[in-house]
Amino acid sequence: MAESNNPRNLPYIILIGDVGSGKSTLLEKLTDTEGKSSSSKLSFTEHAEVYESFEEKLLVCDTPGSNGLRDKFKHNLHIALAMNFAPVTCVLIVVKADTRIDNVVGTVRTYAEGFIPDEIPIEVIGVCVTHMDKVEWKKPDLIKHLQDELGINTAVTSSLNTEGETLSKDLIAECRRRRPVKMSVDGDMFLKLFKISNNNLKILRQVKKEDGLFRKMVEDFFEQKSEYHKGDQMNMTFEFQAYMLERITKSQQRIAEQNNFTFTDAQTLAHESGHIASLTNQLRRTLSTVRIEAAKYHKEYDTNFRKCPHCPAIWQKTEGCDGETRCGSRPYSTRDDWSDVTSKFQFTWDTATEKLSIKKLDTADGAEPEELRHALEGNEPITISRLLSFFITRSLFGIAKNGEGFGCGKTIEWSKMAPVNVKIACDTAQLSSTKDVPSVPPKAEKSWNAKFDGALKALGTLTIKKGSK
């Protein structure tokens, strides 16, 4: 993608939406051209086309409908080509007005959710509702519903009599609210953005079942999580998100095996990859709720470690006062298993009861991990999730083991203990992200990427066409 494709840095708008939503009619109004809309011989746009608006203030790209029944892969490939053309100021979701305003909002939601991938800021999304002369509700009603349902507080509207100058003015105002974004759509992001699978009901049902199972496991987890102490909740949340990441790989494998996907046949590769990616995209959204919960612990977690003045033990206070206690003493709220210094959780799905089972696996290994030692010495950064994997954080805990127990038993006073600096390497945005979840299994990545790259290259490059007036 070369920025020289837009040498004058005009706001660049890409029109996306269903077949017949009015994208090409908008283009005709903005460029004063004819023969682009569905009133012409062709029933829908087949290629991405970039035009300069008639007043030379906008670049507008018309694209094929992404919901076409035929050639889904090819149609959406043209949209990807448009996204890679130049930094995008606005991806404008074009929706045809409907008697029921809820249907309009639902269509916007469907398209907006397709742009959830972390690589694309939600701020780049815009909304334009066409055929407003066909409905009784007005733009303020639309804005209210978009705000209440989706958090979108602006929109452009158009009717049969809307002049190109008015439409252009409204779109320029929308673009002023946004900053251009480089899309760089590759094979993986393409599968995150677009649905290119066929409508095989058998596979769709299997995908729906896998998605339902995944969501049920997460629901069970959050329900049972509240029964544990806060320290355990932190540990188990980090461990559960890792467990569910593995479940995504297993779900991908099941769908592939049940349908004999080989990812080698050029004729079926797009549909096979599309079905797996559709499954993965649904599971990603559910996994993100767990990772967002884990990110909260990163944000709230107190890394205030202090060292015993009498022995090598290092402690953190998650209960108790700042006054005197003894090195290694147990707080009153501690359960009988306080001898544990690390905890692991086993997650099992019971197919008979269709319930998630959580079992705490306790150990009493007091060895100080090398990674942790370096972090406590301030030499190397460590993430909170790795840090938590070393301890139970429900009360005072020790890292160094002395004699028969943890700590030396001598009197310590928290307010007077020397702090131990721990460098935390943590990006909460990365922690809640699902970028690391592959859209297709590893064995399919090479063949899919080769097909995508080859097909995109075969489309050639876009050029800017001039409007008139």
Same domain, residue pair 280 and 242 = yes
Phi-psi region of 184 (alpha: psi -120 to 50; beta: other; left: phi over 0): left
Asked whether the beta carbons of 98 and 113 are under 8 A apart, the reply is: no
| pLDDT (0 to 100) of residue 366 | 44
In order of 55, 149, 227, 278, 300, the CA distances from 233 in angstroms are: 59, 31, 9, 31, 13
| pLDDT (0 to 100) of residue 334 | 44
Q: Which among 183, 217, 235 is the end of a domain? A: 183
| pLDDT (0 to 100) of residue 3 | 58
Same domain, residue pair 11 and 90 = yes
Same domain, residue pair 366 and 236 = no
Q: Which residue has the tokens 């086309």?
A: 49
State the pTM of this model. Answer: 0.75
Does some domain include residue 312?
Answer: yes
Same domain, residue pair 176 and 240 = no
Rounded distance, CA 54 to CA 34, Å? 13
Asked whether the beta carbons of 281 and 110 are under 8 A apart, the reply is: no
CATH code of the domain containing 175: 3.40.50.300
Does some domain include residue 467?
Answer: no
Does some domain include residue 192?
Answer: no
Does some domain include residue 456?
Answer: no
Does some domain include residue 254?
Answer: yes
Same domain, residue pair 29 and 137 = yes
Does some domain include residue 409?
Answer: yes
Number of domains in the chain: 3
Same domain, residue pair 40 and 12 = yes
Low-confidence ranges of the chain (pLDDT < 50): 1-2, 39-43, 69, 332-342, 364-367, 391-404
| pLDDT (0 to 100) of residue 392 | 37
Same domain, residue pair 170 and 245 = no
Residue span of the structural domain in which 253 resides: 201-300+433-449
| pLDDT (0 to 100) of residue 40 | 42
Same domain, residue pair 174 and 216 = no
DSSP 391-406: ---SS---SSEETTEE
| pLDDT (0 to 100) of residue 410 | 87
DSSP 123-167: GGEEEEEE-GGG-S--HHHHHHHHHHHH-----EE--TT--HHHH
Same domain, residue pair 35 and 127 = yes
In order of 60, 190, 362, 402, 448, the CA distances from 340 in angstroms are: 63, 47, 6, 15, 47
Same domain, residue pair 47 and 142 = yes
